[in-house]
Structure 1
Amino acid sequence: MKSKILFFIFCMGISGAVSAQSPVLFGVRGGTNFSGAKGDAFTKKLYVGFEVGAYAGINFIPELGIQVEALYQQTRLSTKDYFVNNGTGIEGGNKKLNYFSIPILARLNLSSEFSLIGGPQLNVLTDKDKYLLDNRNAAFKERSSTWVAGFEFITKSRPRVSIYGRVAWGSKIENIGDGTDAKIIRMQLGIVLPIIGNEENRRR
């Protein structure tokens, strides 16, 4: 239900912005994904992965816009040698999880070069059966939702690329270790390359 409401709001917003002849933007983005997990079965260290994808955006007014992205993200974390009697333990060591993620983000343009972004993100694990618990169930959830918040800063180079930084939180792992939920932590840093529409149009 929540995803249907978000999709409806997004479609209505896009329709209104198009009728107002707001600039439409499209481009690609990519960067580093620092990730780890907070829970009894996991080490506290952050590991380096990556993310790549594309975005499409539009402005309602010069100060406010919305964008949707399609991302492929590699999330890395490490589990301890953690075994329990109820079968919810997992073999220790480094884990690589590949997600297809769809963020739907609001954009607040604070100046001609700096914006704040934030909103919900849907994550789908592409290899859910790669890691199994002692009871042979999948160790990680196939679908999860997170919140994303961050910034984008337009450089003065040519072409006018953007640098972005983000934090994503709220994605849960079920039934590992003591049976309680553990949360994945992600922090991203990367660049945005516009293909259609100049990045400065986000502020016009």
Structure 2
Amino acid sequence: MKKSILIIALVLFGATTMSAQEAWNFGIKGGVNFANFTGDDFSSDNSRTSFNVGLLAEIPLADRFSIQPEVLYSGQGYEIYENDQANFLDVDDNVEYQLDYVSVPVLAKIYLVDGLSVQAGPTFNFKVNEEIDYQPTQDGGDIDNPYPGAQDFEFGGAAGLEYKFNNGFFIQGRYTYGFSETFEDLDIHNSVWQAGVGFMF
């Protein structure tokens, strides 16, 4: 069911893109994630540093108001041990719980002044990878299917600021939060700060 929802979202994104090319602006973006968990049942002081990358479109609806759908790959989770804490595991690097999503934000975008906008809206996140990695900067060290596994789908929200230059280049900062529980029946939620750049065609 969750895969069907994702496929439908991607098809609609592509179909509407083709039908509205003159009115829409399209772009690519990428950046850094500082991801963690928060909630009554678990929280950590060690965030996982990862990345996000993807495509977006801006649909103008009024002079200073647009809708901005996106499709992103977002690396999330948290850092289990820092380097100096991982010695007893006989590893040479940090240990990360890696929980990655294909994220589909649909954001309202309001321009405060020329170039500067505030964005907010829901995100629909589909889990595509889950593992523990005790060599996150190398090819090895992956432990698949940690228990308990995270839920396959997450409903969340995002809010942030963006500044777009006249040449189409933009810089962006954003916070995303998972409203639904990351693990069934546990008060644990994804919490991610994002910073990035992109280009609007």
Same fold (TM over 0.5): yes
Name 2:162's counterpart in structure 1. 152
**2:140 corresponds to 1:132:** no
SS at match of 1:132: coil
Residues 70-110 of structure 1: CA deviation (Å, up to 9, x unaligned): 10011131358xxxxxxxxxxxx521112100000111011
Identity among equivalent positions (%) equals 25
- Cα contact 2:24–2:57 (8 A) shared by 1: yes
SS at match of 1:59: strand
SS at match of 2:99: strand
Residues 92-146 of structure 1: CA deviation (Å, up to 9, x unaligned): x52111210000011101111200011000000012583332xxxx521110011
SS at match of 1:173: coil
Name 1:162's counterpart in structure 2. 170
Distance in 1 (alpha carbons) for counterparts of 2:102 and 2:65: 26
Paired letter, 2:77: R
**2:195 corresponds to 1:185:** no
Residues 130-189 of structure 1: CA deviation (Å, up to 9, x unaligned): 3332xxxx5211100111000101246xx44111000011242225xxx52211100100
- Cα contact 1:128–1:142 (8 A) shared by 2: no
SS at match of 1:110: strand
Name 1:26's counterpart in structure 2. 26
SS at match of 1:127: strand
Name 2:182's counterpart in structure 1. 173
**CA displacement at 1:41 relative to structure 2:** 4.1
Moved over 6 A (4+): none
Name 2:97's counterpart in structure 1. 95
- Cα contact 1:42–1:77 (8 A) shared by 2: no
- CA RMSD in angstroms, aligned pairs only: 2.8
Paired letter, 2:191: I
State the aligned residue count: 162
**CA 1:23–1:112 in 2, change beyond 3 Å: closer, same or farther?**
farther
**CA displacement at 1:46 relative to structure 2:** 1.9
SS at match of 2:129: coil
Name 1:68's counterpart in structure 2. 69
Q: Identify unmatched segments of 5+ residues in structure 2.
A: 82-94, 132-143
Paired letter, 2:25: L
Distance in 1 (alpha carbons) for counterparts of 2:174 and 2:96: 23
- Cα contact 2:98–2:129 (8 A) shared by 1: no
Distance in 1 (alpha carbons) for counterparts of 2:22 and 2:129: 39
Distance in 1 (alpha carbons) for counterparts of 2:103 and 2:64: 26
Q: Identify unmatched segments of 5+ residues in structure 1.
A: 81-92, 196-204
User: Please, what TM-score do these two structures have when normalized by structure 1?
Assistant: 0.69
Residues 8-60 of structure 1: CA deviation (Å, up to 9, x unaligned): xx99xx8xxx6xx9831001001001100124444222221100000011111
**CA 1:22–1:106 in 2, change beyond 3 Å: closer, same or farther?**
farther
Name 1:52's counterpart in structure 2. 53
